[in-house]
Structure 1
């Protein structure tokens, strides 16, 4: 009786008696970039609806149609995923590079102009809207957004401005810009929502400049200092 000859594997799968097919290794699945973007989009939506504490990695993976292991592969943890969703929406380098390049003079107007431009581009606006909805509705999300914006974005601007108490100045600028975003793009208060962007820059920019470089009122700074420059 002639012995059965085993055919070489040339791709795809080959059967083994009683053990099922052998799959050829393929490395990382195709479409990894698309999968990462889909995960971020689903995460932002769920964080906006349920807050950071109300969303699990498993729920995000299910909404994105991927395995939870892939979420961990890309982002390591839920905190990493939330931070990545903020970075994808805010893009500090895109906002700050042209703002900081011009020096201290006109810094406030350049910051407001870049902020408005970022909000008025698509798909950035939808991403920012989801992050802002999450921040105003859920305390843990708000804390994470606040820390990110003040530390990675406005903290850099305040340091470049060079005034004392940069952390206070960054917080004051944040109050102006977050309030502007809520009023113009979320609540859509008129006539602010319909004003030309340069009109908004002209109105808001000097306030931001004052927060960054002006003298701070008594009581704004720690230990009762008046915030006067040395």
Structure 2
């Protein structure tokens, strides 16, 4: 009888002695499984099995798969679900501004941090590109556009992704001046209107 991938997932031996040990094991397992299977293919059960812990620990420590991905792969203190709620909290016509402010608010203090490393790795690792597509487009941006009464939600999500990744590339990887050192208000005035058009405007 054939077994599902989750049933055949090799488990690490040994009992996890404490909470921090369990958390570290989940983070390590998640990095492996997300790269191997992509964001959509990685399941909570498969990650927990790889770590040798109960799947309930994923929700306990990270609030779900999205939060685990943010901590394990992006390595930033951002809860994806809370981020989407923040972006949707306010007038629809100001979402573009909130996207820019939240993006820069996360990455500017750490000079791009793991975002820059991920962008660099995309060009040589298709698995990483698959993970980023799954997380940013399918999980974050499509969830955002689905709350807005506008047609072509999937296309709008990819347009948002092109602008956001381009902003991160120019600011943190290439460090294109004066773009890289522009203050947040300048960035908002320049970029937010375009993001807003992608979200709610005419894209025909």
Q: TM-score, normalised by structure 2?
A: 0.67
Q: 2: distance between equivalents of 1:155 and 1:86?
A: 20
Gap runs ≥5 in structure 2 = 1-13, 37-47, 56-64
More helix by share: 2
1:190 to 173, 177, 188: 177
Closer, same or farther in 2 for the Cα pair 1:40/1:159, shift >3 Å? same
Greater relative contact order (Cα < 8 A, sep 6+): 2
Describe how 1:1-230 pairs up with structure 2 within 5 A.
28-30=16-18, 31-32=20-21, 35-36=24-25, 39=28, 43=31, 52=35, 71-73=50-52, 83=69, 85-86=72-73, 88-89=75-76, 91-122=79-110, 125-217=112-204
CA–CA distance in structure 2, aligned partners of residues 110 and 142 of structure 1: 25
Distance 2:112 2:150 in 1: 31
Q: CA RMSD in A?
A: 3.5
Q: TM-score, normalised by structure 1?
A: 0.60
> Is the 2:137–2:161 Cα contact (8 Å) retained in structure 1?
yes
The structure having more radius of gyration, on CA atoms, is: 1
CA contact (8 A) 2:16 2:22 kept: no
Whether contact under 8 Å (1:39, 1:71) holds in the other structure is no
